[in-house]
Structure 1
Amino acid sequence: MAEQHPQMHQHDAQHEHNPDYAAQNKQFFDQNLELFERPEIVDATRRVAAKIRERYPSLFNIESTTVLDYACGTGLFDREWSSHVKLIFGVDISQKVVDEYNLQASKHGLSDKLKATCVELKADSQLDASTQRFDIVLCTMAFHHFASPEDVTKILASFLKPGGSLLVADLLEDSSKTQVIEGEQYKHVPHKSGFDEGRMQDIFTRAGLADFEMGELISGLPILEHKVTLFLARGVKPL
């Protein structure tokens, strides 16, 4: 699958501007790999994967759909999607997470469809014509970890084919801006209350995406002693 891999390098705009958050996130996930296997996380991941497919069934074609999953984790989400798309390329900041992703893909006989790597995506200004583009670029439950979601979104949008969709699922901020993610152990999380629709629309618009839409994906999901609501936002790269 080497010919399918996007061109990448070792620096990303978000990480250059905010090295502390990036380093803290990497260290946290390197040291807490078991979090991905907690029953509530597994259940939530499967529910989110199914709900996104239900929301946008026309985006999925097993013969042709290619997906880039940014902050892919250990691959449970992508294994749930594997029977609905042609291939998925995962990217994560943690080498240990990526190693587990590829190990699980191999164990499930999916190495021909799922492949992850631990590198940083190139900034838009450094892309060239040889860079692989995707039908779907996906980022689930990771935006609240990014110091600059604006920078990340611009980079993710640059990996879309014309007409391709960026899909982001994350915590929906309530009117009281309740901090869902609390405690010293989560100091690496800059957006502890999530995002509202106005913020997400501004982020997507600044990244050059069109046809923005956002709606509730799952409500009442138990996360860290809170019942939270997840949103799904979509933007389309103009033709």
Structure 2
Amino acid sequence: MMQTVLAVDSLSSGYGEAIVIRNINLRIARGEIVAVVGKNGMGKSTLLKSIMGYLPKFSGSVAIAQHAISDSRPHQIARLGVAYVPQEKALFQDLTVEENIRLALRGSVSWNEAKETIGRCFPFLLRRLQQKAGTLSGGEQKMFLMARSLAVGAKVLLIDEITEGMQPSVISNLVKIIKTERDRSGLGVLLVEQNIPFTHAVSDRYVLLDKGEISGSGNTRDTDTQEKIAAHMCL
């Protein structure tokens, strides 16, 4: 039986008194990549922010490798091995690339180990370690956010709309990087995405999110997956 690294049970969350996601149930096994697909405004980012502790959990529960995190703060959740790549460019612009990465490292991962991961996944960043992070181009900043999250030795990776604004060649390379790191470490990935070809290429399973609720799911390798996802996105 595959080990569950992320368990979401009957989760409802939102902003203020407004409920955005309702009764979400998800399981991600070690080494599994699951995509959450839906149009804008359906609650995809809210789901990731709630799991990561940035938004309150109105009801339900979340666990990382059987550790309950429903009442935990983001830095506590990160210490349990969860890394988050937000849609926003969340970096310290006036610090160097190296300084940004060192700030994210936990005690179990050394700087040399982090550099090895970065060199394997995004080698160009090794030449930019002393460059201010804010001076990287938009696409480079997104790759840097991915590199920083992979370098900390996470068990679970939450990714929000990483391909937005990326060139097709970079997206193809990103598919290889995510799958390679999954195979190396057993990383579990929850991916929010609207890029259907990318979703199909990188994920093992998908769930459809509609108005804050899961309306369907399936195996990405099914022959009609792209058609089902495209139809959902056009509703």
Q: TM-score, normalised by structure 1?
A: 0.32
Select the structure with the greater relative contact order (CA < 8 A; seq sep ≥ 6).
Answer: 2
Give the TM-score normalised by structure 2: 0.32
